[in-house]
Amino acid sequence: MNILSRVPLKEFTAKLKDLVKPGYTKAMWPTGGFFLIYIALTALLVYVDLSFVSTLYMNLMMLMYGMASTSGILLALLELLGVFALILALGFWFNFISTAVVFTYQDRLQHPDVVVSPSTIWKNFKHLRKNQLWRISLYTGLFIFLWTLPLTIVGSLVSKYTWAVYTIRILNYLIIIWKSYEYSQATLLYREKQPSFLGQSMRHALTASRRFMGGLKFNFLLLQIVLVLLPIVVWSAIFGGVAYYGIYTATYFFMYLGYALIVLGITAYLPVVYAISALFYEEAKKHIKVDADFIGLFKPVEVLTGEAFQYGHEPVVEEKPTKKAKKGKAQAAK
């Protein structure tokens, strides 16, 4: 089967243009502004963290000569960990903003009168169930880590063979990419069934995403390569050349100009990146029964309340989808 048969590139590009072009400016300013703030604050915190690392290293050196105390080293370590925690918190904050933008584009697809603007993005941001979203992010990171852990252990055992280390490293990168695409729709599927997630584990969103993306991973990968990666790479190569010219000739104006244009170009392209995620989900959903992806995942209400464990009660067990049902769910949706 053609890997682009479900979401054709040409048709997808036309719909993407119709989605992003109207009101592009209103969407670009908040998304770009938040991105620049995130980059600036992250760079500042990384700089501060590196200074704490150097301070900690110096205290350790001085401790060897009896010129530093253990309490000073512990204080430097706490400062280092505190800044690192701020970097993580900032990353979660930007992830929430990005999710709100994707949800707003999804709202526009479902309701064409919705305008992607600072007010609509802020409205979605306020109503995000952030506790559930960050648990989805943590589960995603945990599962990807566990998938790569066996090869990482093997790599440490064969570290004396350079070819084996690089082979295992490449395999781990492929696993990370593969699982990232499997779990890529977890947030949107969670939103689809948000009321049903009350009292349920956020792991179900990842399982549903894995089922949803069966046969669509290469489709989504190619769409992102053509519509996200290539434009950014071409833009960065052009103005990266300007920056390199400035470095080579010691003309620092061109160096800073090249770097600034790279960042501004990527910033201006962010609405397209966010819109692609929302549009892909809505287009893929036309060929898939979303309800089938959640079969057998949610615990019955009587189990959550404890009623199922009372004497004489017979809980209703929901059947899990068979392989034959999984293969036929796309045809049944049509």
Q: Closest Cα to residue 292, out of 333, 256, 254, 245?
A: 333
Q: Residues 6 or more apart from 269 whose CB is under 8 A from it?
A: 231, 232, 235
Contact 289, 332 (CB under 8 A): yes
Please report the pLDDT score of residue 239 as a whole number. 94
Residue 314 reports pLDDT greater than 60 = no
Q: Which residue has the higher pLDDT, 102 or 73?
A: 102
Residue 4 reports pLDDT greater than 50 = no
Distance from C-alpha of 244 to C-alpha of 241, rounded to nearest angstrom: 5
DSSP 15-65: HHHHHHSTTHHHHHHHHHHHHHHHHHHHHHHHHHHHHHHHHHHHHHHHHHT
Residue 324 reports pLDDT greater than 80 = no
Contact 103, 111 (CB under 8 A): no
DSSP letter, residue 225:
I
Question: Which amino acid appears at position 141 of this protein?
Answer: G
User: HSE (CB half, 13 Å, CA atoms) of 241?
Assistant: 5
CA 47 to centroid of chain Cα atoms: 24
Q: What is the mean pLDDT of residues 265-275?
A: 95
Q: Which residue has the higher pLDDT, 6 or 111?
A: 111
* Contacts of 36-40 spanning 24+ positions with Cβ under 8 A: 36/263, 36/267, 38/90, 38/93, 38/94, 38/97, 39/263
Q: Is the pTM of this model over 0.85?
A: no
Residue that the structure tokens 């001085």 belong to: 62
Q: Closest Cα to residue 101, out of 81, 74, 119, 79?
A: 119
% of the chain at pLDDT higher than 70:
88
Q: pLDDT, tens digit, for every residue of 18-65?
A: 999 988 999 999 999 999 999 999 999 998 888 888 877 887 777 777
Residue 316 reports pLDDT greater than 80 = no
Residue 161 pLDDT class (50, 70, 90 cuts)? confident
Q: What is the mean pLDDT of residues 83-91?
A: 92
Distance from C-alpha of 139 to C-alpha of 145, rounded to nearest angstrom: 10
Judged by DSSP in three states, 209 sits in: helix
CB 130: neighbour CB atoms within 10 A?
14
Q: pLDDT, tens digit, for every residue of 176-214?
A: 999 999 999 999 999 999 988 888 889 999 999 999 998
Distance from C-alpha of 313 to C-alpha of 297, rounded to nearest angstrom: 21
Residue 333 reports pLDDT greater than 60 = no
Contact 308, 315 (CB under 8 A): yes
DSSP letter, residue 201:
-
% of the chain at pLDDT higher than 90:
59
Please report the pLDDT score of residue 326 as a whole number. 53
Contact 245, 254 (CB under 8 A): yes
Distance from C-alpha of 70 to C-alpha of 51, rounded to nearest angstrom: 19
